[in-house]
Chains A and B, each alone.
Chain A
Amino acid sequence: MKFKKSTYWLFLLPCLLAITFVIIVPFVQGIYYSLTDYNGFQISSFVGFDNYRRLFTDQNFLNSLRFTAGFSIASIIGINVIGLAFALLVTQKSNKVSTVFRTIYFMPNLIGGIILGFIWQFIFIRAFDGLAQLTGWGIFNDWLASTRTGFWGLVILFVWQMSGYIMVIYISFLNNVPKELLEASTIDGANAWQRFRHVKFPLIAPAFTISLFLTLSNAFKVYDQNMALTGGGPFGSTEMVTMNIYNSAFMTREMGYAQAKAVIFLIVVATISVIQIYFTRKREVDL
């Protein structure tokens, strides 16, 4: 009972058309734009690799890359430590209470970055001000007004948002750890830490690879939260790569130049993802 060729292509057509016009054509066109002085309306000259050369001396862009990398590293550590801790906690018991915990930890993840950013803008500006008055501690003063606090503000927001998501991944791996194994180790006298370190940890290793790189690529692509929480300020010092690209495309209208940044961004993100796939595969073989 063969699948007729014409039907086959008909079934595939909508998706193939969509990826062609939404990703493939823009991708090729983008590489072309990056070699021109495109301003959104017209291309007056072909500039070769000038845009790329300019990138490597553009302090704002390089800063945004550094800021994004720093943000990603801090977020990945925070999200995975907290996400795993939550997962270990809620898998201790399977009752109503643990479902409630899980529901609450996951909640921020359902809400859009724009709204989350505004919620935290309120927390950092008004509520922290209240905390400063209450405790008299200077640490709560003027959040989001400096690069450092803006940085940590973004990290806190993102950790709060993503930990519940990563928790769900860890939970699904933890649920696959055989009960008999845990019981056997308990009978053999293993304590909670030993059970985690020697039984659960090796068995959920693939979850680490998935989670680490999922958080990494998500952290690199953050835009909405950045936009709503700090707007890149003060003076563009908390601008991430995506916002830097957006601004040179739609604010200063240097689309050709912005596209050169976008190509570099693509290379960075794609490289990260390829490394992820490589390690995930390798691990699967080892197991």
Chain B
Amino acid sequence: MNDKSYSRYSFMVIGGLTCLLWIYPFYLVIVNSFKTRGEIFTSPLNLPIDATLANYPVAFARLDFIQSFFNSTIVTAGSIALIVFCTSMAAYALSRRPSKTSSMIYFIFAILMLVPFQSIMIPLIAIFGKVDMLNRTGLAIMYLGLGSSLAIFLYFGALRGIPKALDEAAIMDGCNRFQVYWYIMFPMLKSTTVTVIVLNAIWFWNDYLLPSLVINRAGMHTIPLRTFYFFGEYSRQWNLALAGLVLAIIPIIILYMFLQKYIIKGISDGSVK
């Protein structure tokens, strides 16, 4: 009895304190974003004396927030659609035609996972530059190339659990391969698709280095790119810089609140399987 209440007590205390420590950086950034420049300088740890919203409209405008948000959404959604569609189809073909060729292709995808992006970055940019593909379409294709291995593994694993008799029955009924894939397999792969979307959404939405090399043009900037330049310009004006950071974080946190269960499951499935 005593032991049990003691364990509950320590669970709450240790958990509570570490959580406070973990969100303290966010707390500081948010609290200070409501202060004036001078107050951040004199008392960064206190609550604002008179809180002001004045930093937000300025940061919103300088971040070109609506445009950046739109750009990020386009890049992320477009790249995800491409990767989900192409890799599930490829994994379907690999899983339903077991042969030496299929094993070989699977092996190539596995090997390519070992290649870190920075080791091919220079020629990649040179090649895509030559064919005039340093744009959003080019970026989506790069993401497909860089992300297909993991997505194919995940889909392949899930497809192994779906009996081939199902394909055969559908083909008997007059479906062609694409119809089998699209109307029968793809809906059955829903939970894997969620995993693939989660893993890639976090990556694409937050990515800085690759977009900075590919779509680094005014009007095309995603949120991380825009934040980077904004911060460079205003790093002496912490009040504006912090309001900008809060704006950049808000969309992610809101999404996380709603999709928390899927996100954690996606991460867990993606790294363990």
The answer to whether A and B come from one shared complex is: yes
List residues of chain B with CB within 8 A of the CB of A131: 45
Interface range, A side: 35 or more
> Of the 9-residue stretches B49-57, B118-126, B188-196, which lies at the interface with chain A?
B118-126
How many residues of B are counted as interface, with CB atoms below 8 angstroms from the partner's CB atoms? 91
| Residue pair B228, A14 in contact (C-beta under 8 Å) | no
> Of the 9-residue stretches A48-56, A59-67, A122-130, A147-155, which lies at the interface with chain B?
A122-130
List residues of chain B with CB within 8 A of the CB of A269: 114, 116, 119
Which residue of chain B has the shortest Cβ distance to A103 in the bound complex? B260
| Residue pair A101, B202 in contact (C-beta under 8 Å) | no
A35 at the interface (CB under 8 A from B): no
List residues of chain B with CB within 8 A of the CB of A1: 167-168, 171-172
B103-140 Cβ-contact flags toward A at 8 Å (1 or 0) = 00100110011111111111110110000000000000
User: Given that A27-B115, A89-B14, A112-B206 are known contacts, is A249 also in contact with B121, CB under 8 Å in the complex?
Assistant: yes
Question: In chain A between 194 and 229, which residues have their CB closer than 8 angstroms to a CB of chain B?
Answer: 210, 214, 217, 220-221, 223-224, 227-228
> Of the 9-residue stretches A73-81, A168-176, A177-185, which lies at the interface with chain B?
A168-176
| Residue pair A33, B228 in contact (C-beta under 8 Å) | no
Question: In chain A between 103 and 138, which residues have their CB closer than 8 angstroms to a CB of chain B?
Answer: 103-115, 118-123, 126-127, 129-131, 134
| Residue pair B123, A11 in contact (C-beta under 8 Å) | no
Q: How far is the CB of A6 from the nearest CB of chain B, in Å?
A: 10
List residues of chain A with CB within 8 A of the CB of B115: 23, 27, 266, 270
A131 and B24 CA atoms in complex are apart in Å by 13
A287 at the interface (CB under 8 A from B): no
| Residue pair B238, A108 in contact (C-beta under 8 Å) | no
| Residue pair B252, A19 in contact (C-beta under 8 Å) | no
| Residue pair A27, B120 in contact (C-beta under 8 Å) | yes
| Residue pair A7, B93 in contact (C-beta under 8 Å) | yes
User: Given that A23-B112, A93-B11, A118-B231 are known contacts, is A126 also in contact with B90, CB under 8 Å in the complex?
Assistant: no
A63 and B178 CA atoms in complex are apart in Å by 53
List residues of chain A with CB within 8 A of the CB of B47: none
B81 at the interface (CB under 8 A from A): no
A71 at the interface (CB under 8 A from B): no
| Residue pair B224, A89 in contact (C-beta under 8 Å) | no
Q: How far is the CB of B75 from the nearest CB of chain A, in Å?
A: 13
Partner of A134, one of B45, B213, B263: B45
| Residue pair B227, A118 in contact (C-beta under 8 Å) | yes
User: Given that A165-B267, A168-B264, A274-B114 are known contacts, is A108 also in contact with B124, CB under 8 Å in the complex?
Assistant: no
A255 and B207 CA atoms in complex are apart in Å by 23
| Residue pair A12, B94 in contact (C-beta under 8 Å) | yes
Partner of B224, one of A7, A114, A160: A114
| Residue pair A11, B89 in contact (C-beta under 8 Å) | yes
A242 at the interface (CB under 8 A from B): yes
User: Given that A21-B127, A27-B120, A227-B208 are known contacts, is A114 also in contact with B97, CB under 8 Å in the complex?
Assistant: no
| Residue pair A127, B209 in contact (C-beta under 8 Å) | no
Partner of A21, one of B26, B122, B145: B145
A214 and B121 CA atoms in complex are apart in Å by 21
A241 and B118 CA atoms in complex are apart in Å by 10
Question: In chain B between 161 and 202, which residues have their CB closer than 8 angstroms to a CB of chain A?
Answer: 167-168, 171-172, 177-178, 181, 202
B144 at the interface (CB under 8 A from A): yes
B7-42 Cβ-contact flags toward A at 8 Å (1 or 0) = 110011011001100110110110010000000110
| Residue pair A127, B45 in contact (C-beta under 8 Å) | yes
A163 and B152 CA atoms in complex are apart in Å by 27
| Residue pair B116, A221 in contact (C-beta under 8 Å) | yes
Which residue of chain A has the shortest Cβ distance to B119 in the bound complex? A266
| Residue pair A119, B208 in contact (C-beta under 8 Å) | no
Which residue of chain A has the shortest Cβ distance to B108 in the bound complex? A19
A144 at the interface (CB under 8 A from B): no
| Residue pair B202, A110 in contact (C-beta under 8 Å) | yes
| Residue pair A122, B271 in contact (C-beta under 8 Å) | no
A221 and B23 CA atoms in complex are apart in Å by 25
A83-95 Cβ-contact flags toward B at 8 Å (1 or 0) = 0001001101100
A192 and B103 CA atoms in complex are apart in Å by 46
List residues of chain A with CB within 8 A of the CB of B14: 89
Which residue of chain B has the shortest Cβ distance to A98 in the bound complex? B15
B158 at the interface (CB under 8 A from A): no
A8 at the interface (CB under 8 A from B): yes
| Residue pair B207, A101 in contact (C-beta under 8 Å) | no
B96 at the interface (CB under 8 A from A): yes
Partner of B25, one of A120, A173, A270: A120
Question: In chain A between 1 and 29, which residues have their CB closer than 8 angstroms to a CB of chain B?
Answer: 1-4, 7-9, 11-12, 14-16, 18-19, 21-27, 29
Instruction: Mark A residues whose CB is within 8 Å of B.
Output: 1-4, 7-9, 11-12, 14-16, 18-19, 21-27, 29-30, 33, 40, 86, 89-90, 92-93, 97-98, 100-115, 118-123, 126-127, 129-131, 134, 160, 165, 168-169, 171-173, 210, 214, 217, 220-221, 223-224, 227-228, 241-242, 245-246, 249-250, 255, 258-259, 262-263, 265-266, 269-270, 273-274
- 11 inter-chain pairs at a CB distance below 8 angstroms, sorted by A residue, are A15-B90, A22-B146, A89-B18, A105-B19, A106-B267, A107-B26, A118-B241, A171-B268, A214-B271, A221-B118, A266-B119
